[in-house]
Chains A and B, each alone.
Chain A
Amino acid sequence: MAVRNRHQEQIGEYSIVSKTENHPLHSSDQEVWKRFVQGDELAFAHIYRLNVNLLVNFGRQFTNDHELVKDVIQDLFIRLRHPNTSQKVVKIKSFLFKCFYRDLIKRMDREKTFDDAFQQDSFAITMSPEHTLINQQLDCLKRHHLSESIEKLSVRQKQALLLFYYEDFSYKEIASILDMKSVKSARKLVYRAISKLRSVINPTFLKVISIILLIYPFGT
């Protein structure tokens, strides 16, 4: 059974194999960052390629203002390229997300970009089926129930689930990106979201439902 999808193409991953020795693609985040700080243009190109669209997409969940999102990303990269930059960076993606989130919120505050209608459906999640599925256990009905209960989550909870499952951040990284007091707060956020989905994902729940349907097939 293939639980892991080995050929999954993940934009945010750094483990892409390259044949050239000493190529940034070959190195860890810390090494890439070190080269970037030393002024290696190849390292910057690498960081830009892997992250710019992830940041655009993340930013556009907060606002419809595409130009503003682009502006904030541009300013962030310019700032990081400044010769005095000396931050220690362990994971580039979460470092960029953290800086970007902080900058974007500041700019939206200053330019008073607000949109109440938009806020409600920001960070919408879709449970899209995978293409490479071998045995589809998550049947249509369940997927439908799951989507329905996900819609009822708070924006913050949806945000946390996307950062955890889609962006592949750890609890520690989520806490740092979203400026939370402690790792515990990030954990709590995800836990609460999952317990709201529990009635749907709990297998016994569905079994009970199907037994009821078997006994009372016509709802009498």
Chain B
Amino acid sequence: MNYTDYEVQDFLKDESFVAWVKRNDPDLNDFWEKWLANNPEKAAILEEAAQIIRSTHYDSVHQLTSQEYIMLYENVLRKSDLNYNKEERRKTVPIGLIAAASIILSVLVLVGIWRSPGLNERKSVVVYESVIKEKKTSNGQKLSFKLPDGTKVILNAASTISYSVPFMRENREVKLEGEAFFDVVEDRKKPFTVITSNFSATVLGTSFNVFAYQNETEHTLSLLTGKVKVESPYASNDGPQILEPGHQIKFDIESNNFSRQTFNPQLITGWKDGIITFKDADFAKVISTLERWYGVEIAIINENKMKERQFSGTFEKKSLEHVLQVLSFSGGFSFSIKDKAVIIEFSD
């Protein structure tokens, strides 16, 4: 090995060199400073390699919020104390007593969001400690996972799903804010219920899409297979609605009304395969969809010059720039994108 023959890419592979660039280690400093003094003609090469090393960063950086930072620390301390005490006790107290004690000590955690109707009748002696689990996406993210019963869930951007663990005691219940696609594993004894801010949907085993963003005025459930029962305490319609495959039920937040129609599956569930489809969508809908999808904020200039019109189009795994380019032709606007900020400007 002879450093004098090294090119940029050789230095980039060299552990000692990389460590010198990254760390303030007296031994490495000593060697490399001496070497550099003896080989001043190599300074440019060294500098370039060092710059490449130092400019390498994660594209997306994720950190705990300070609240999460504190909570995690406290949880670790509390739970390791619990573990420790358990160990201690096991040495001295007979197992029967521990079992009895832990049943008595178990606490049933009741959380307000689980609006379970039969709660008062259910005064059984056996109690469970239940924990609420939450899965969350921000703008521009998607997440797919399976619930403990095997049900497949694909969560669209800016959405939250929560459920209690253990999951399958009597009902399978999840609470949704935002949009998700469900492929529910059939279990005739344990119906599966999705609760949104406006309605709840109960199924046995089906696949369907729920669209329930807080900032949207129409929430929908679109059924692909199986059967769904949809109910809402707010709806002016009579009784629960039973939906057949290929149909969509829409809850209008202003009129508190359910209405039904058929739907185009690609239009509704295309998002899970990276496809955005607009069909006769108004401008506000286009903007809110793009903001969620690409995780950007869109500002509009001269909105009053915008002509009332509807947008249609299908985009499969396209960049925001491409989508806006296409929409700008028919929409009569110009746009600029700078990082996560988008400006749309209408002109006469």
Contacts and interface: CB of A to CB of B under 8 A. Distances in A.
Interface of A: 1, 3-6, 8, 10, 13, 15, 45, 48, 52-53, 56-57, 60-61, 63-67, 70, 73-74, 77-78, 81-83, 111-115, 117-118, 123-130, 133, 135, 137-138, 143, 146, 161-162, 164-166, 168, 170-171, 187, 190-191, 194-195, 197-198, 201-203
Contact of A74 (B22, B48, B72): B72
A202 B8 contact: yes
Interface in B257-306: 274
A3 B146 CA distance: 49
Contact of A67 (B52, B59, B136): B136
Interface of B: 7-9, 12-13, 15, 18-24, 29, 32, 36, 43-48, 50-64, 68-69, 72-73, 75-76, 79-80, 83-84, 87, 133-137, 141-146, 274
Given A3-B47, A13-B23, A162-B56, A70 B84 contact: no
A40 to B, nearest CB: 13
A66 B274 contact: no
A197 to B, nearest CB: 7
A166 to B, nearest CB: 5
B145 A1 contact: no
Contacts of A5: 54
Given A191-B13, A203-B45, A130 B55 contact: yes
A57 B61 contact: yes
Contacts, number: 174
Contact of B36 (A3, A67, A197, A198): A3
A110 to B, nearest CB: 10
Contacts of B56: 125, 127, 161-162, 165-166
Contacts of B9: 194-195, 197-198, 201-202
A201 B48 contact: yes
B273 to A, nearest CB: 8
Contacts of B58: 57, 61, 123-126, 162, 166
B35 to A, nearest CB: 11
9 contacts: A3-B21, A4-B32, A4-B50, A53-B69, A113-B144, A117-B274, A123-B58, A166-B56, A171-B15
Given A56-B62, A60-B62, A114-B145, A67 B53 contact: no
B146 A53 contact: no
A1 B144 contact: no
Contacts of B134: 67
Contacts of A168: 18-19, 22-23
